[in-house]
Amino acid sequence: MQYPAPIAKLINSFTKLPGIGAKTAARLAFYVIDMPETDVTEFAQALVNVKRDLTVCEICGNISDTNPCQICQDESRDQSMVLVVEDARDVMSLERMQEYHGLYHVLNGVLSPMEGVGPEDLNVPALINRLHDETIQEVIIATNATAEGEATAMYLARLLKPAGIKVTRLAHGLSVGSDIEYADEMTLYRAIEGRREI
């Protein structure tokens, strides 16, 4: 038996999300059918708003509803440090820790020759431009402890060292193969405290 077209379309839409297979998508679709119409409307509006109202910060590359983002606008933050992360989710994870008070730079990925991602595909030129500001004294590289993350960290270190800026890497308080997004606050705190120059 085939699903009616509206249900089939909703199931198909859910399967486009990462980690959602056909069975889970069907379960979610039937859950939506049972939701009050106002909740469904709010949910749909939230999806539309996320695409319409968010932008990428022209300074750091973080996702924000303002441009520049609130972190870049905050003059009370330590302007001498820039912490480089793979994506915006990492910024959110580090901010939850409430121990790092510097600036951020989002690469929007890592080097991955197997997937055809090279330096030109990352937000590296904007980072280089930021370093012309002599207030930045240290760049902390906080890519994940994966082969791609390590390769990206080494690439950035070689690129930045000649500029005379201190380049450090998060300590391996983060387990190898893990993502910053899923680390707890204490692990992140120890990783920042134990960073080392590379």
Map out the domains of the chain as residue ranges.
5-53, 63-197
Q: Top-level CATH class of 63-197?
A: alpha beta
172 pLDDT more than 80: no
Q: Averaged over 149-163, what is the pLDDT?
A: 91
Helix (H) or strand (E) holding 163: none
In this structure, of 10-14, 18-22, 88-92, 184-188, the range with the lowest mean pLDDT score is 184-188
Residue 134 binned pLDDT confidence (cut-offs 50, 70, 90): confident
**pLDDT per position as a tens digit, 37-66:** 999 999 999 999 999 999 999 999 999 999
Q: Which two tokens stand for residue 113?
A: 């020759």
- What gap in Å lies between CA 135 and CA 180, rounded to an integer? 27
* Same topology between domain 5-53 and domain 63-197: no
5-53 is a CATH 2.40.110.10 domain: no
Residue 83: name the closest of 198, 195, 159 by CA. 195
The DSSP result for 60-103, as a single string, is T--EESSSS-HHHH-TTSEEEEEEEESSHHHHHHHHHHT---EE
